[in-house]
Amino acid sequence: MQQFDLLFRQALDGLAATHRRRAVRPFTPSGTDVLVRADGARLIDFSSNDYLGLSRHPVLCTRAIEWTEQYGTGAGASRLVTGTRPLHEQVEQKVARLKGTEAALLFASGWQANASLVPALARLSVEQMGASPLVFMDRLNHASLHQGCAAAGVRQIRFRHNDLEHLETLLRIRQGQPGLRLILTESVFSMDGDRADVPGLAALAERYDAFLCLDEAHATGVLGENGAGLACEAPGGVHLVMGTFSKALGGMGAYVAGSAPLCDWLLNTASGFIYSTALPPAILGAADAVLDLLPSLEEDRQRVALYGEILRSHLQSAGFDTGASSTQIVPVMIGEASDALRIAAGLEAEGMLAIAIRPPTVPQGESRLRISLSSAHDEEAVVRLAKAIIRLCGRA
């Protein structure tokens, strides 16, 4: 079995030489915004996606425990065998109400949902329209959507990031071609913290008879009325909304929301749904609780938005590039991976965790610190972070 280890070691050495080798590190949560390293060091967490600090919220914890005690630790099978419980349908109904759709369908993760939905829609195109779909993809979409295209065997038609003029050009020149037109994009982009023009996308989808899929993983809970995300900016104009419970909603799992026929089609054709064991009661309990809680969290949404403005203001005043960020995600563009790693290490030495993001997650030469802000932070910590970045980069 070890005869191939030399190949693995050589490949790993190649990653290390270009500052791209990764390793996991254990952290123990201590409160809603502090992690404890294995050596006992306490770090303010500026890297997690727990944007509302809900992962340790007592209401979520209590319902997760209650549902575990009442229904057990696992579902035992996939949803299409014996895994479906009334709990799954209850959470799906709440998701549909939040998103203003007819129906919703739960998945184990956002990756699984995205990687599954594209092949399912491609099958629809082939079977009902006699041709493969035309997939129009924002070039900065999450890797799971790219994986979905690869699994479906479809060629992407990539448009420049958030460039609706480019997208329209691509749609226009393919007007006469057969196949379902799919527009795949995100509402908030995870590495840049910028927003898509959802009403503009919906208008293009209507004009060119395209099916609009919107990944709301980083918007749900934080943006929109009651935290419903940005699809609410174009009522009825987004045909499929994907989102997760694993970020601002403080838990795990994902969903697709849309029309009842759409969700029924995915139930019948999305491999990630068909062949996966159903979500367990503990996960469902946390999801159910957070959906009840969301409308009461407007102050938290306003606070994390304010922190984003404060951080960008300090960094931009010192000459830093924070891209088009307008949300709780603030990228600090550094450039070389080695420099990003060095600055992240300096912050960690001062008790702040801000992970360096390197290729292939971002393009070569665009390594950065990806700052994720939470309503659990306080303004003093955000300002301290900004000043530390400025100082460590020699711009003080």
Residues carrying an active site annotation: 190, 218, 247
Query: What is the length of the chain?
Result: 396
Residues of 385-394 as b/e, b for ≥16 C-beta within 10 angstroms? bbebbbebbe
Q: Which residues have C-beta within 8 Å of that of residue 120, sequence separation ≥ 6?
A: 265, 266, 269, 270, 271
Q: How far is residue 128's CA from residue 301's CA, in Å, rounded to a whole number?
A: 43
Exposed / middle / buried, residue 236 (Cβ in 10 Å: 0-12, 13-18, 19+): exposed
Nearest-angstrom CA–CA distance, 65 and 71: 10
Backbone phi and psi for residue 245, each to the nearest 5 degrees, phi listed first? -95, 0
Strand partners, 243: 255
> Taking the CB of residue 322, how many other CB atoms lie within 10 A of it?
23
| Angle, alpha carbons 189-228-314 (nearest 5°) | 45
Please give the torsion angle defined by the CA atoms of residues 37, 40, 45 and 48, in that order, rounded to the nearest 10 degrees: 30
Dist CA 49 CA 251 (whole Å) = 11
CB-CB contact of 311 with 273 (8 Å): no
Q: Are 331 and 369 in contact (CB under 8 A)?
A: yes
